[in-house]
């Protein structure tokens, strides 16, 4: 069963359970300043989990493209990938625990309606409760799981893991349901319930793990740390059922009137389970790329798996990021695209001996694999390859400059080693090899300290950069988001109907709007755009929202970003007769709330795409 077979089976399964299937959102979040990337299937669904009505109803399902920056340095083992697809199904105040657990167990284990995983290899975790916080143990989920396992003729013993992680044998015998605390089995947007502000929703979750067998454990002799939610290598999480059922009040957690379900399952991980091999890079979509790498390098996957995996993961992620508009650069999303490409090129050059054209060869292989599922990849093929190749050539020149700098050195302390890494892209291993050739050592500990300092600064910078987004300052975000609609239409009025939105980003202090246009705007054009927006603000126009079919919206002339990703029913926001856009929100009620609109900067974003930064005063 291929990756695409599993995805198709999943969507058909939940469609048969009354779910509307919606397309994947872009990897670049639309009008969400709180994060750089779409990192989970839940992320585009947050407004609906918080109570806003979904245009497709109370049951939806999808397979969402995801990218997580935190996993870049983890890639190289058998389970971590930066890009992945997440299977998802949601209930917005409709069904709850019984239906969700029953359906997902059926999908995973039934030979006919599902994908036929071995029932005996399924283990689950459930929230143990927290008496101090007044949140009870999730006995409902425990009893549901026990009934499923009993009907399947399997043990259904419950083991509370409090104080047992890594300390004693917990596998074997009757144990199949494991209880963990809020650090592992609770979901809210801010993490554990102790951190939730008043009014924030959250709830327990129940994770599903697949047991590949003791032979796959990293520690072949010490079984005492082989609990299901460990990093032993034996178990792999393949799905998580989140039950949003509580709301934080003053010191308490009260039941929510609308209880929601959010399921997320890593598609590649589910495919690995079906493959009976915990190495996700051995599933079908990677096999042609392994063959290509073996052909180019003369090496075998089994000889240097870490670097094969780095190249395979990073260039697949770069392909989808570039396709969604994250071109390699020094900032924002493009920084990560650049980092991925350069890390892949380093592995190809320094370890596999592939001196050039790694991006073209590998990305073309992936386009061949994915083009039928994602037609846009084939349509944008030349542009994607051009961007990746340009970045590869830039990095080759950077490496040459770095070698010249290295040859001037008589010693390599930690700061120098980190400078070679951050400025010229030298991995520590390369610096060490060159140092050995020159007869001196590298201070690895000092390098690691510098690296940690850099990570901490980056983390704090990211927190500062995205503070004030949708989760922190919703009124400001609503204002700026509404202003992008006015800006979009004003640009079309001044420049022509060829103008289309190519992306937007909002912070608490400004909006950023990317749009198609071949030329730099003149001062007069900018003044005209500003004036049009401010006229509509002064007119105090009401903003109206209607739900209708996508076809109806198009026939009415509504415009929208990434139209191919919308479902059959959409929300259309109208600002009088001036602007009509397909959009998910949020918006203010009247343009008078926006204040005064002012363009601060207009510049090139990429070939044929311009960028405006503007503020509301």
396 domain residue, yes or no:
no
94: pLDDT strictly greater than 80? yes
Furthest C-alpha separation in the chain? 78
pLDDT of 350 reads: 84
CA 71/CA 426 separation, integer angstroms = 20
In 134-249, which ranges are E strands? 157-160, 175-180, 186-188, 201-211, 235-248
289 and 245 within one domain: no
What are the backbone angles phi and psi of residue 245, rounded to the nearest 5°? Answer: -135, 0
Range of lowest pLDDT (147-161, 216-230, 449-463): 216-230
User: Which comes out higher in pLDDT, residue 237 or 403?
Assistant: 237
517 domain residue, yes or no:
yes
Identify the H or E element spanning 122.
strand 122-127
Spatial CA neighbour of 7 closest among 67, 78, 89:
89
397 domain residue, yes or no:
no
563: pLDDT strictly greater than 60? no
Mark 528-557 as b/e (b = at least 16 C-beta within 10 Å): bbbebbbebbeeebebeeeebebeebbeee
CATH of the domain at 189: 3.30.930.10
483 and 462 within one domain: no
313 and 204 within one domain: no
535 and 435 within one domain: no
Which of 263, 281, 299 corresponds to the end of one domain? 281
- Residue 97, preceding peptide bond in cis (omega within 30° of 0): no
DSSP letter for 442, please.
B
Three-state secondary structure of 42-98: CHHHHHHHCCCCCCCCCEEEEEEEEECHHHHHHECECCCCCEEEEEEEEEECCCCHH
Which of 265, 281, 297 corresponds to the end of one domain? 281
213 and 78 within one domain: yes
Spatial CA neighbour of 152 closest among 195, 196, 111, 186:
111
For residues 344-363, average pLDDT: 93
Q: 96-105: per-residue pLDDT in tens? A: 999 999 999 9
What does R_g of the chain's alpha carbons equal in angstroms? 26
413: pLDDT strictly greater than 90? no
Domains held by the chain: number: 4
CA 148/CA 375 separation, integer angstroms = 40
Range of lowest pLDDT (237-241, 412-416, 566-570, 610-614): 566-570
**602 touches 511 (CB < 8 A):** no
333 domain residue, yes or no:
yes
pLDDT of 238 reads: 96
Among the residues of 467-584, which ranges form H helices? 474-495, 523-538, 550-555
Cα 415 to Cα 405, 431, 448: the distances in Å are 14, 12, 10
455: pLDDT strictly greater than 70? no
422: pLDDT strictly greater than 90? no
Average model confidence (pLDDT) for the chain?
A: 88
149 and 10 within one domain: yes
pLDDT of 222 reads: 46
268 and 332 within one domain: no
468: pLDDT strictly greater than 50? no
228 and 91 within one domain: yes
471: pLDDT strictly greater than 70? no
86 and 227 within one domain: yes
203 and 87 within one domain: yes
111 and 248 within one domain: yes
Q: Is 312 in a helix, a strand, or coil?
A: helix
561: pLDDT strictly greater than 70? no
455 and 414 within one domain: yes
What are the backbone angles phi and psi of residue 328, rounded to the nearest 5°? Answer: -55, 130
| pLDDT bucket at 430, cuts 50 / 70 / 90 | confident
Q: In which domain, by residue range, is 88 found?
A: 3-281
| pLDDT bucket at 33, cuts 50 / 70 / 90 | low
87 domain residue, yes or no:
yes
CA 598/CA 207 separation, integer angstroms = 48
Indicate the burial class of 387 (C-beta count within 10 angstroms; 0-12, 13-18, 19 or more). Answer: buried
User: Which comes out higher in pLDDT, residue 291 or 470?
Assistant: 291
| pLDDT bucket at 536, cuts 50 / 70 / 90 | very high
User: Which comes out higher in pLDDT, residue 131 or 166?
Assistant: 131
């Amino acid at each position: 069963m291929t990756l695409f077979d599993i995805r198709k089976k999943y969507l058909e399964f939940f469609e048969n359970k009354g779910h509307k299937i919606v397309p994947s959102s872009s990897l670049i979040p639309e009008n969400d300043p709180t994060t750089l990337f779409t990192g989970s299937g839940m992320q585009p669904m947050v407004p609906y989990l918080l109570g806003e009505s979904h245009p497709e109803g109370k049951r939806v399902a999808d397979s969402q493209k995801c990218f997580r920056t935190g996993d870049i340095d983890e890639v190289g083992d058998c389970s971590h990938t930066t890009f992945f697809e997440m299977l998802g199904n949601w209930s917005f105040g409709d069904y709850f625990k019984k239906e969700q657990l029953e359906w997902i167990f059926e999908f995973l284990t039934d030979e006919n309606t599902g994908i036929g995983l071995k029932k005996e290899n399924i283990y689950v975790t459930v929230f143990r409760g927290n008496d101090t916080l007044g949140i009870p143990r999730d006995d409902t989920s425990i009893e549901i799981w026990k009934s499923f396992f009993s009907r399947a003729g399997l043990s259904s013993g419950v083991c509370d893991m409090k104080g047992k992680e890594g300390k004693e044998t917990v596998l074997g015998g009757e144990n199949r349901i494991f209880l963990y605390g809020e650090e592992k089995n609770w979901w809210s947007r801010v993490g554990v319930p102790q951190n939730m502000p008043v009014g924030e929703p959250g709830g327990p979750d129940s994770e599903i793990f697949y047991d590949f067998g003791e032979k796959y454990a990293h520690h072949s002799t010490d079984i005492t740390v082989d609990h299901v939610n460990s990093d032993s290598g034996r178990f792999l999480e393949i799905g998580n059922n989140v039950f949003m059922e509580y709301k934080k009040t003053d010191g308490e957690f009260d039941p929510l009137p609308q209880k929601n379900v959010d399921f997320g399952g890593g598609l590649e991980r589910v495919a690995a389970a079906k493959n009976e091999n915990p190495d996700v890079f051995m599933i079908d979509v990677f096999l042609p790329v392994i063959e290509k790498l073996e052909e180019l390098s003369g090496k075998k996957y089994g000889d240097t798996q870490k670097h094969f995996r780095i190249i395979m993961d990073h260039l697949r992620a770069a392909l989808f990021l570039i396709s969604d508009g994250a071109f390699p650069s020094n900032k924002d999303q493009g920084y990560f695209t650049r980092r991925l490409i350069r890390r892949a090129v380093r592995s190809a050059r320094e370890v596999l001996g592939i001196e050039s054209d790694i991006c073209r060869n590998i990305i073309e292989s992936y386009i061949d694999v994915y083009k039928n599922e994602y037609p846009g990849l084939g349509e944008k093929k030349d542009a994607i390859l051009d961007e990746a190749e340009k970045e590869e050539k830039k990095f080759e020149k950077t490496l040459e400059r770095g070698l010249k700098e290295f040859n001037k050195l008589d010693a390599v302390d930690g700061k120098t080693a980190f400078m070679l890494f951050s400025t010229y892209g030298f991995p520590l291993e390369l610096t060490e090899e060159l140092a050995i050739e020159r007869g001196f050592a590298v201070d690895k500990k000092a390098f690691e300290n510098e690296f940690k300092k850099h990570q901490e600064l980056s983390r704090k910078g990211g927190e500062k950069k995205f503070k004030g987004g949708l989760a922190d300052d919703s009124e400001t975000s609503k204002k700026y988001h509404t202003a992008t609609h006015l800006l979009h239409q004003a640009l079309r009025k001044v420049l022509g109907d060829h103008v289309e939105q190519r992306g937007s980003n909002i912070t608490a202090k400004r909006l950023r709007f990317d749009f198609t246009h071949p030329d730099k705007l003149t001062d007069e054009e900018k003044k005209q755009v500003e004036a049009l927006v401010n006229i509509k603000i002064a007119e105090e126009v009401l903003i109206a929202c209607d739900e209708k079919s996508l076809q109806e919206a198009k026939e009415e002339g509504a415009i929208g970003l990434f139209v191919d990703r919308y479902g059959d029913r959409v929300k259309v926001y109208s600002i009088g007769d001036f602007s009509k856009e397909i959009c998910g929100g949020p918006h203010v009620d009247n343009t008078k709330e926006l204040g005064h609109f002012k363009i601060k900067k207009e510049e090139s974003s990429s070939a044929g795409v311009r960028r405006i930064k503007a503020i509301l005063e």
